[in-house]
Amino acid sequence: MIDRQATLFHMEQLKLNGMADAYRSSLNQPLHELPSAHEFVTSLIESERLYRSSQRMQMYLKLSKLRYNAVLEQIECSAERNLSRQQIIALTDCSFVSRAENILITGATGCGKSYLACAIGNQACSLGIRTLYLGMNRLIEKITLAKLDGSYIKLLNQLEKVPLIILDDFGLTPMDQHTRLAMLQLLEDRYGRKATIIASQLPVAQWHHTINEPTLADAIMDRLTAAAHKFELKGPSKRHKSSK
């Protein structure tokens, strides 16, 4: 005689929570509706796979610290915004991450740059791609503290390992020499291996001047733009539209 409660207990002890939920549901089904043994085992394994995928996605979303809970399906596309549905569809598989390509998003304040960046990050998390969102102010703080407490190399190593990093508000805060060197090292470590999304109010053509050190600016821009998709958002502020 099969002890069903014992079976459930052992599944939970083994942390097979998705499988346990599916097995628990099957206990309420009439015998004539139960699948064959092979089909039942397959369904239990699939339930566990989906459960773990969902848990991993939720963990990645939490760790990503995305500024907005945005999804690509909700992105407004129009000629006025200089953004097409085809461009959004091309991002849904996040294959740019595996190809280690960057995305540069520019536009006036309030036009939805950060929202688009976070929507891409959200999609990446849903596909099991570890993502990290950082405003430039926060990145500068991290660099400054790491320099002070001796964890600078550790910080760079941690950032290098993240498959997708989103850097928001690029160019709003002046870069000191430590930040410029850290940016160069970060991009050098990730070049050809990991993907980076940059969002900025400034056009890409002005980034070189903003970095404000010709030699380092050349090196940074070369690594940012070598394999990059550019989104130049236009139109009125989305914040003003929402308030109205």
pLDDT one-digit tens code per residue, 26-54: 877 776 677 777 888 888 888 888 878 88
Q: What is the pLDDT of residues 114-154, one digit of tens each?
A: 999 999 999 999 999 999 999 999 999 999 999 999 999 99
Q: What is the pLDDT of residues 51-72, one digit of tens each?
A: 788 888 889 999 999 999 999 9
Q: What is the DSSP letter of 135?
A: E
pLDDT score of 32: 67
Q: What is the pLDDT of residues 177-203, one digit of tens each?
A: 989 999 999 999 999 999 999 999 999
Query: 92 with 189, same domain?
Result: yes
* Contact predicate 90/103, CB 8 Å: no
Angle at 111 between CA 216 and CA 234, to 5 degrees: 85
Q: What is the CATH number of the domain that holds 147?
A: 3.40.50.300
Q: What is the DSSP letter of 35?
A: P
Query: 130 with 11, same domain?
Result: no
Q: What percent of the chain has pLDDT over 90?
A: 65
pLDDT score of 242: 53
Helix or strand holding residue 237 (H, E): none
Query: 109 with 91, same domain?
Result: yes
Spatial distance between the Cα atoms of 203 and 231, rounded to a whole number of angstroms: 10
Spatial distance between the Cα atoms of 62 and 240, rounded to a whole number of angstroms: 29
Query: 77 with 170, same domain?
Result: yes
Query: 92 with 200, same domain?
Result: yes
Nearest-Å Rg of the Cα atoms of the chain is 23
Query: 79 with 168, same domain?
Result: yes
* Contact predicate 205/171, CB 8 Å: no
pLDDT score of 41: 87
Side-chain-side CA neighbours of 20 within 13 Å: the count stands at 14
Which pTM does this prediction carry? 0.82
Q: Averaged over 224-244, what is the pLDDT?
A: 78
Select the more confidently predicted residue: 111 or 34.
Answer: 111
Last residue of a domain, one of 23, 43, 59: 59
* Contact predicate 229/104, CB 8 Å: yes
Cα separations (Å) of 98 from 35, 94, 106, 159, 192?
A: 39, 8, 23, 17, 10
pLDDT score of 54: 81
Query: 31 with 113, same domain?
Result: no
Last residue of a domain, one of 59, 86, 104: 59
Tally Cβ neighbours within 10 Å of residue 183: 24
Rounded to the nearest 5 percent, the helix, strand and coil shares of the chain are 60, 10, 30
Q: How many domains does the chain have?
A: 2
Query: 108 with 159, same domain?
Result: yes
Query: 116 with 45, same domain?
Result: no
Range of the domain at 237: 65-243
Continuous H helices in 14-100:
17-26, 37-64, 85-89, 95-98
